[in-house]
Structure 1
Amino acid sequence: NWIHPLGLARVDIEGDMPSSAYRKLLEALECLQMAPTPTKGNTNDVIDLGASPGGWTAALRKLGCNIVAVDRSPLDTSLMQDDKVTFVKGDAFTYAPPQPTKTQTKTQRSPPDSWMVSDVIAYPERATELLERWCMGHWAQYLIITVKFQGQVPAFDDLDNAIATAKRHGYHCRAKHFFNNKNEVTLMAWEESASNNERKEVDDDEEADSQTGLVLGESFYPAILPKR
């Protein structure tokens, strides 16, 4: 349709970006029809695990988000100097966000409109461990994680296990191989009860196509119209 010509999300950002990997994140946000929404009442930082060199962080900054970027290696210089980006030198798999206050109970869900994203290089089982840790702790309402395969045969068993893990902890979860994914898929998980009304799973149907969606970038390929 006119929103996604040839089924491609508008993910090309003009100007220098630390890496082209940001396009995968924008495709995931378009698919979810959701994005981090910085507002006066929402002080949640978006957590970017395995952030270096900073492609996903840079895209999130263009949305106006504050970022906590976790990696053993520093980000691109421009991001390291950005006062809205907090760089944490450390392990993406052991990082934990600030814990809930004592007044919060174990039955409460994750903080509303809280996000964790990760494009960290790891074996599929490690990505599943990361997903389970965050889902079990209900540390974020929305999770976007790249599951990177090894070799020529996708690890579908590992992927099924990851999806089942998220659902076991009360999250919806879906996996997509986007145009900008390579030998990998993007996992998108979200808490069952969203703060902005009940979040319903969106399939690739006419209802999803009719939504305006998030438009941050330009078309990856220019439209080629027939000559008159």
Structure 2
Amino acid sequence: MTDLNTLLLHCRSGFEKECAAEITARCAEAGIYGYPQFEPSQAYVLFICYEANGALAAMRTLRFRSLVFARQWCACLSRLDDLPAHDRITPIAGHVAGLPQSSELMVEVADTTEGRELHGFARKFGSALAQSLRRDGLLLPRKQRAEWRLQLFVLDGRTCWLGVARIDNSSPWPMGILRLKFPQQAPSRSTLKLEEAWHYFIPVRRKDEFLSGGMTAVDLGAAPGGWTWQLVKQHMFVIAVDNGPMNADLMESGQVEHRREDAFTFAPPKPVDWMVCDIVDKPARVTELMLQWALNGWCRNAMFNLKLPMKQRFDEVERCLEYLQRELAAAGIGYRLDARQLYHDREEITCWLSLNQAG
């Protein structure tokens, strides 16, 4: 098998440093050593493993969903340069033969202005490449199950990265981006952050368990109501906590009670199914607030954002999440905690804390 010692990780532009620090730390914890390479604002990071096929070992050992800053990843060959414009498929096909067998091809570009301009070319070329590989037996029939997915990351018309990703340990969406349409009735675009979080964190098979009509919720820092709108859409009854005004149409739903109170001192009259929080404050202070709700048993689930500082963002995330986990464990509270910088997040990450579950 061809040596796959390079991990390629997609991330939000401007967060390459955090993505690189995280994959370096997680790989070292698993006994996989190497070094990261990236350029500012290129929206992807390379991690070069010292050992042969180290990238494959990482994909088999690390849990992709445990990574906060990586949107997508794959184990790659060395970069393919100077592909002939008259026939790019033949040299790529020659490398595919040495990769783990796959039944599907995912073609990706960087989430940058330059990358988005390549979308049309990448889509058409990917379709032609898949047809050729399938015809030559280098890509399994569509209905045949395989452990791996073939991935092609296009840098320009003559340069690309070729690799594979485990289907059950990577994002199902190209570049790890779930495309959502902004609902015109929603009070603010922040509504997409909560919608994406539910799609990402909650398995489809368990949606009715976590999101069903008649549930109760609290939205801390709710105004003007972007996240409350999502809760109402799920037919929940919501206490919206904010000193600012709520959207008038949202209040007419009859499902929202507006409390003009400080979100950091508010206590619910009784426990609720969901607490959501998109407050702009220091991540350590928001983490302390989330811990208070968990220790007091005020909610079953919490979805919250941590707004990150300009510097030491990865370190701040590590401190906040480790503190929350340590305190919950010390209190004997069962929990599940997941975190991710979602596509609709900006200088923040989104966390899901589900209580009374195995971690």
TM-score (norm 1): 0.70
- The answer to whether the Cα contact below 8 Å between 1:17 and 1:55 also exists between their aligned partners in 2 is yes
Measured in 2, the distance between the counterparts of 1:85 and 1:4 equals 35
Aligned to 2:320: 158
Q: Which has the higher helix share?
A: 2
SS in structure 2 of the partner of residue 83 of structure 1: coil
Deviation at 1:178, TM superposition (A): 0.5
C-alpha distance after superposition, 1:117-152 (max 9, x if no partner): 110111111111111111101111111110111224
Matched, 1:29 2:198: yes
Q: Is the 8 A contact 1:134 1:140 kept in 2?
A: yes
1:118 aligns with 2:268: no
Identity %: 29
| 1:136 partnered with 2:305 | no
Q: Name the structure 2 match of 1:145.
A: 304
Q: Which runs of 5+ in 2 are unaligned?
A: 1-105, 107-170
Q: State the Cα deviation string for residues 138-176 of structure 1 (Å, max 9, x = none).
A: 111111110111224312323432343445433221211
SS in 1 for 2:268: coil
**More relative contact order, 1 or 2 (CA 8 Å, 6+ apart):** 1
CA contact (8 A) 2:201 2:338 kept: no
Give the direction of change, closer, same or farther, for the CA distance of 1:142–1:125 in structure 2 (3 Å limit).
Answer: same
Residue of structure 2 aligned with 1:88, choices 238, 254, 259: 259
- 1:72 alignment partner in structure 2: 243
Give me the TM-score of the superposition, normalised by structure 2: 0.46
Residue pair 1:163, 1:174 contacting (<8 A) in 2 also: no
Alignment check: 8 A CA contact 1:141 1:190 kept? yes
- Aligned residue pairs total 178
Report if aligned partners of 1:147, 1:186 keep a CA contact under 8 Å in 2: yes
Structure 1 residues 4, 59: closer, same or farther in 2, change over 3 A? farther
Please tell me whether residue 19 in structure 1 is matched to residue 160 in structure 2: no
Would you say 1:171 and 2:343 are equivalent positions?
A: no
For residue 216 of structure 2, the aligned residue among 35, 41, 45 is 45
- In structure 2, distance between residues paired with 1:49 and 1:24: 15
**Distance of 1:81 and 1:145 partners within structure 2:** 26
| One-letter amino acid matched to 1:164 | R
Q: Which runs of 4+ in 1 moved over 4 A?
A: none
Preserved contact between residue 182 and residue 189 of structure 2 (Cα < 8 Å): no
Shift of residue 50 of structure 1?
A: 0.5
Equivalents in 2 of 1:184, 1:19: separation in Å? 17
Equivalent residue in structure 2 for 1:180, among 340, 344, 348 = 344
Instruction: Give 1:130's aligned amino acid.
Output: L
Asked if the contact 1:73–1:89 (Cα under 8 Å) also holds between the matched residues in 2, the reply is: yes
Deviations 1:166-219 (A, max 9, x none): 4543322121110111111111110134xxxxxx66xxxxxxxxxxxxxxxxxx
Given the alignment of the two structures, is residue 56 of structure 1 paired with residue 227 of structure 2, yes or no?
yes
CA distance in 2, matches of 1:44, 1:118: 17
Residue 127 (structure 1) aligned to one of 260, 280, 286: 286
Alpha-carbon spacing, 1:4–1:88, altered in 2? closer, same or farther (3 Å): farther
Alignment partner of 1:125: what SS?
helix
Secondary structure at the aligned position of 2:286 is classed as: helix
Do the aligned residues in 2 keep the contact of 1:70 with 1:92 (CA within 8 Å)? yes
Q: What residue identity is the alignment partner of 1:174?
A: D
- Paired AA for residue 26 in structure 1: E
Task: Choose between structure 1 and 2: higher strand proportion.
Answer: 2
Q: Which of 1 and 2 has greater Rg? A: 2
Corresponding residue for 2:268? Answer: 97
Residues 167 and 120 of structure 1: CA distance in aligned 2, closer, same or farther (over 3 Å) = farther
Does structure 2 retain, via aligned residues, the 8 Å contact 1:143–1:189? Answer: yes
1:26 offset after TM fit, Å? 1.2
- The residue type equivalent to 1:76 in the other structure is N
